[in-house]
Chain A
Amino acid sequence: MTRYILRRLLQAIPVFLGTTFLIYFMVFAMPGDPVLAMFGDKTPNPTQLENLRAQYNLDQPFIVQYLLYLKGVFTGDLGETFSGQEVSEVLRRTFPVTLKLVLMAVVIEFLLSVVIGLVSGLREGKFVDNLNVVVALVLTSIPAFVAMFLAQYFIGIKLGWAPVTVGANATWGAMFLPALVIALTVYVTGMRLMRGSVIEARNEDYVRTAYAKGLTSRRIIPVHVARNSLIPVVTNTAASFGALIAGTTITEGIFNIPGVGNTLYQAIIRGETPTVVSFVTILTIVYVVVNILVDLLYAVLDPRIRYV
């Protein structure tokens, strides 16, 4: 087990270096004056330009710039946002909100996957199953931001069941609607896994044996069918965790949730490229780290992986 963990961590090093290098490279190796380009259509004043050049060590060779930047990442010095706040300070404030939102979304996603997948799998080919397959297809096709607007309009504005936007006070209740919408746009993968393995499990010998020895469906379905079908759903849900944290930009922007994604959203809208880049880097690092943790979790759950 220790060897597996070590190997997995070692494998993560090139990925970590590569991703940060890639983002850094895109921004700083582009043609023209990178600092000027950061401002887009706006005209920066000379002091701003000079400060930015100093901040990104632009007088140094490219590799030195990158290494200095990495040093900053490891020592917790993540630079400043456009308005002069410490990035690490902003993270401390916003990350818990995003985590709360994503945790809620993941729990709902898991429940939807398991319940709908189980019902659909048990009724394979019947009306409920066909309906579910069609609904799933439509739900995967609705772009997240369209789904958000639909929810905002019908549930927030028309029915008034939930606040239209969340605002500063991000309570569990206020974030339920956005979390539900996120879950609805991603549950389909898990639901299909559950449905597939339920269908498979129903034809297994051990299920037939269970019926043959006189057990009722009430006992066989939860104990023999559902429990064995859960493993792929658990791993899929865990895997979606990182992607959801990295993907909250639009959700938090539309619902005005004060999380990391919203900070990024605001920076994009205002065209503050340096802030955009540092938050994208942070979200990418979080994504990479979460995926490593998920891999290690697999190894704990499923001993077969450790010996591959």
Chain B
Amino acid sequence: MSERPMTHYVAPVGDGGPVEVDKVSLGSRRSNLWLDAWRDLRRRPLFYIALAIVAVILVASFWPSLFTSVPPNNDCMLANSNGAPEAGHPLGFTRQGCDVYSRIVWGARTSMSVGVLVVIITGAIGIPMGALAGYYGGRLDSILSRIGDVFFSVPYFLAAIVVMSVFSQYRNVVTISFAIGGFAWASLARIVRAEVLRLKGLEYVTASTALGRSKLSTLVQHVLPNSLTPVIVFLTIALGAAIVAEASLSFLGIGLGSSTMSWGNDISQAQQTIKTSPMALFWPSLALTVTVLAFIMLGELVRDALDPKARARR
């Protein structure tokens, strides 16, 4: 069924034959928010750059040995302290005589684990809190929103400082992810709540309950999937922010233990020799910045692509 059987013809003034005016071609390409966004993204070179960076980091965090033959943490020799680059060690050595390049490669896994875990925790708390508050409204909304307000009012980096100081014996990836994600969810809950509030009055939601679906099932099946757009954008950018938060906490010495390979730890240690060997400070900082840039870029490109107004302006 590519064309409708019935079409209307009109003879334009002054021209030759009659012209179809309302022919509907059902064979033309489909269009919805995500398809349009995808078509838009595919035309943007920055999207591919961001995607490539993310891919490289993901591969490096799953299989670090693909990028470096230096095993983690056991080739450090003080004789190499702050050494210049040499064959097999393209970025030189740290103060402890460890290979800068291999530490950066192994550090990718730490950053990505924290980033992904924080995103999971943030989503697991923020989405239900926002969705339930927005969908059920009333007293539940008041209670959940007040709880959200409290978490929203504590600057999340400060909260993470307290958690990590208190749990000083348990400095690992899981603790730090909870310290960050446990306070970052409040903004997401606000976004989800607003989105659910917007959607819940729409006809297809009423139709779903009218057809006998329970309220909760309608929320999960119809409302939530349609409110995911801003959530995905938020979480992509939050992943980058979580990586920065981990590095900042490690930099303060309350992040991951010094035996864990983390860009924040490397930066923190290299800071002491900023005058004599700035490159040991520069490389992990660059890795950190490029990674965060990739995620923020990805998030913002997707947001732009999903926003028809922004698309029209370009």
From known contacts A26-B162, A152-B274, infer whether A40 and B150 are also in contact, taking CB-CB under 8 Å.
Answer: no
Q: Which of A27, A137, A140, A142 contacts B162 (CB 8 A)?
A: A27
- B-chain residues with CB within 8 Å of residue A268 when the two chains form the complex: 161, 165, 252-254
Pick the residue among B151, B161, B267, B297 that contacts A146 (CB under 8 A): B267
Interface presence of A250 (CB below 8 A): yes
Chain A interface residue count: which class? 35 or more
With a cutoff of 8 Å between Cβ atoms, the chain A residues found around residue B313 in the complex are 199
User: Mask for B126-154, Cβ within 8 A of A = 1, else 0?
Assistant: 00000000000000000000110111011
Give the residues from 273 to 300 in chain A that come closer than 8 angstroms, CB to CB, to chain B.
273, 276-277, 280, 283-284, 287-288, 291
A265 with B153: CB separation less than 8 A:
no
* Interface bits B286-300 vs A (CB < 8 Å: 1, else 0): 001100110011001
CB distance from B232 to the nearest CB of A (A): 19
- The verdict on B180 contacting chain A, using a C-beta distance below 8 Å, is no
Residues of A with C-beta under 8 A to B248: 143-145, 250
Residues of B within 8 A of A157 (CB): 274-275
Q: How far is the CB of A240 from chain B (nearest CB, A)?
A: 12
Which of A16-24, A45-53, A100-108 is found at the contact surface with chain B? A16-24
| B240 on the A face (CB < 8 A) | yes
Let me know if B247 is at the binding interface, CB within 8 A. yes
Given the interface contacts A15-B149, A276-B162, does A37 sit within 8 Å of B169 by beta carbon? yes
Which residue from chain A places its CB closest to the CB of B295 in the assembled complex? A141
Q: Is A6 part of the binding interface, using a Cβ–Cβ cutoff of 8 Å? A: no
The docked-state distance in angstroms from the alpha carbon of A276 to that of B267 is: 22
CB neighbours of A19 from chain B (8 A): 150, 153-154
Contacts A141-B296, A143-B247, A276-B161 given; does A18 touch B153 at CB 8 Å:
yes
A143 near B158 (CB under 8 angstroms)? no
**Is A79's beta carbon under 8 Å from chain B?**
no
Interface residues of B in 153-199 (CB under 8 A from A): 153-155, 157-159, 161-163, 165-169
A141 and B289 within 8 A (CB): yes
- Docked Cα-Cα span, A288 to B244, in Å, equals 24
Is B251 in the interface zone, CB < 8 Å from A? yes
Query: How far is A115 from B103 in the complex, measured between Cα atoms in Å?
Result: 41
Report yes or no: A284 in contact with B253, Cβ–Cβ below 8 A: no
Is B150 a contact of A15 with CB atoms below 8 Å? yes
B278 touches A153 (CB 8 A): yes
**B169 / chain A contacts, CB cutoff of 8 Å:** 37, 40-41
B281 at the interface (CB under 8 A from A): yes
CB neighbours (8 Å) of B151 from chain A are 22
Q: Hey, what's the 0/1 contact readout for A147-178 against B, CB within 8 Å counting as 1?
A: 00110110001000000000000000000000
How far apart are B186's CB and chain A's nearest CB, in angstroms? 11
Q: Is B285 an interface residue (CB 8 A)?
A: yes
Q: Which residues of A contact B267 (CB under 8 A)?
A: 145-146, 149
| Chain A residues whose C-beta falls within 8 Å of the C-beta of B292 in the assembled complex | 141-143
Chain A neighbourhood of B65, CB < 8 A: none
> Which residues of chain B have C-beta atoms less than 8 A from A249's C-beta?
157-158, 161, 252
- In the bound complex, do residue B165 and residue A142 qualify as a contact, i.e. CB atoms below 8 Å apart? no
B150 contacts A280, C-beta separation under 8 Å: no
What would be 10 A-B contacts, judged by CB atoms less than 8 Å apart? A14-B149, A26-B159, A38-B166, A41-B169, A143-B244, A149-B267, A269-B252, A283-B155, A284-B153, A288-B153
- State the 3 A-B residue pairs at the shortest beta-carbon distance, nearest first: A18-B150, A141-B293, A40-B168
Given contacts A18-B146, A280-B159, A284-B158, 6 further A-B contacts (CB under 8 A): A22-B150, A22-B154, A143-B289, A149-B281, A249-B252, A277-B165
